Amino acid sequence: MKRLLITGAAGGLGSVMRTRLAHLADTLRLSDMSDMGEAAANEEIVQCDLGDAQAVEALVEGCDGIVHFGGKSTEGPWSVINNANIQGVMNLYEAARKHGMPRILFASSNHAIGFYPQSQVIDNTVYPRPDGLYGISKVFGEAVANAYHDKFGQETAIVRIGSSFPEPANHRMLSTWLSYDDFVRMIERIFDVPKLGCPIIYGASANSASFWDNSKVDWLGWRPQDNSEQFRAQIDATTPKPAPDAADVLYQGGLFCTDGIHSED
Ligand code: NAI
Ligand code: 15L
């Protein structure tokens, strides 16, 4: 494609994917409200707040695909989540509707379904069970993606990302880890398939301890190749094993389930 927009480009995933996705487009348009450094020859840099509708409309114009990583990525005060993940998502989808409906990857989260027990394997047809304000905002984003698909034909890959970091950091992440390599392979498929629709995909590597079933999106042709088991001995040796009744062991969303509602100050 000619131009791929990556929002949240200053963040953890955005700064990795800035280099790892360069082959997907002639030009990467990178956006964040934080500093993204200098633009490389293949890059355009646009610093803006996702909550600013006019700025987001200008940001999306001229793009052929969008990887939407931008937003509040953990639990936090509602005003912050509301601006970035509620208003920000509305602004993005309205801009996309007005400017040719570029295919979107929406970075949803396992916290949209965080209250499912780890003892249950779930597929992409389950009803959401968000584990806090952040999870609620991701359910909202999934709903916007669905409505814009049904009403206007906007295509979105809703990716319920587990834990996408260089390595799993604790026992729960042995179930939820998504390697960067597997994520890149997934994103390549998302922008390659002729018809995408609006599927929900669990973003996890081929972890033996997974509690997510992606069989309903087999047609995408994404075959994760990494498995967190290679880190199990290291995790056992370096992190304390949680008690059997800890939220980190009981719930898919782990400790987010016991986090309170954050105050505005
Ligand atoms: P991150 O917090 O490192 O990056 C998010 C970026 O969004 C930041 O650079 C931040 O400045 C930017 N941002 C926040 N509010 C903004 C606003 N109002 N306007 C413009 N930019 C704004 O998060 P990370 O880990 O890179 O995650 C990327 C996306 O993937 C997020 O949407 C997150 O919710 C989602 N996700 C990530 C997971 C992971 O394991 N890394 C797991 C599940 C979901
Ligand atoms: C998320 O949604 C967060 O963005 C990320 O920072 C991790 O906390 C991840 O979920 C997780 O559940 O490990």
Pocket of ligand 1 (CB under 6 A): 8, 10-14, 32-34, 49-51, 69-73, 83-84, 88, 107, 109, 161, 163-165
Q: Residue 253 CA: which ligand 2 atom is closest?
A: 12
Q: Could you give the strand order of the β-sheet that contains 200-203, starting from the edge strand earlier in sequence?
A: 43-47, 27-32, 3-7, 65-68, 103-109, 156-161, 200-203
How far away, in angstroms, is 141 Cα from ligand 1 center? 14
The pLDDT tens digits of the residues spanning 70-121 come to 999 999 999 999 999 999 999 999 999 999 999 999 999 999 999 999 999 9
Residue 210: band (very low, low, confident or very high) from pLDDT cuts 50, 70, 90? very high
Distances (CA, A) of 159 to 14, 40, 198, 262: 15, 28, 10, 25
Taking the centre of ligand 2 as the mean of its atom positions, its distance from the CA of residue 150, in whole angstroms, is 29
pLDDT confidence tier of residue 203, bands split at 50, 70 and 90: very high
List, by residue number, the catalytic residues.
134
- Residue 110 CA, closest ligand 1 atom number: 43
Which residue has the CA at smallest separation from atom 11 of ligand 2?
A: 163
Ligand nearest to the CA of 108: 1
CA-closest residue to ligand 2 atom 7? 163
pTM above 0.95, yes or no: yes
Q: What number does the ligand 1 atom closest to the CA of 49 have?
A: 19
* pLDDT value of residue 265: 83
C-alpha of residue 72 to centroid of ligand 1, in Å: 5
User: Per residue in 243-254, pLDDT tens?
Assistant: 999 999 999 999
Residue 92, CB-side half-sphere exposure with 13 Å CA sphere: 35
Q: CA 38, 54, 33: angle at the middle one, nearest 5?
A: 35
What is the CB < 6 Å shell around ligand 2?
A: 73-74, 109-111, 163, 176
Which residue, judged by its Cα, is nearest atom 44 of ligand 1? 109
Q: Which H or E element spans position 47?
A: strand 43-47
Question: ipTM of this model?
Answer: 0.99
User: Ligand 2: distance of its center to the CA of 265 in Å?
Assistant: 23
Closest C-alpha to ligand 1, atom 8: 11
The CA 121 to ligand 1 mean position distance, Å, reads 26
In 65-215 the beta strands, taken as DSSP E runs, fall at 65-68, 103-109, 156-161, 200-203
**Which of 7, 13, 159 best tests ligand 1's pocket when mutated (most atoms within 8 Å of CB)?**
13
- Name the amino acid, one letter, at 23: H
Find the radius of gyration of the CA atoms of the chain: 18
Tell me what the mean pLDDT of segment 132-153 comes to: 99
Q: Which of 161, 176, 257 to mutate for ligand 2's pocket (most ligand atoms within 8 Å of CB)?
A: 161
CB proximity list for 151: less than 8 A, separation 6 or greater: none
Segment 214-223, tens digit of pLDDT: 999 999 999 9
Helix (H) or strand (E) holding 27: strand 27-32
CATH of 3-258, one of 3.40.50.300, 3.40.50.720, 1.10.3210.10, 3.30.1330.40: 3.40.50.720
Q: Using alpha carbons, list the distances in angstroms from residue 53 to 8, 40, 47, 60, 84.
A: 16, 27, 14, 11, 11
Sorted by where each begins, the domain ranges of the chain are 3-258
Q: How many angstroms is it from 25 CA to the middle of ligand 2?
A: 28
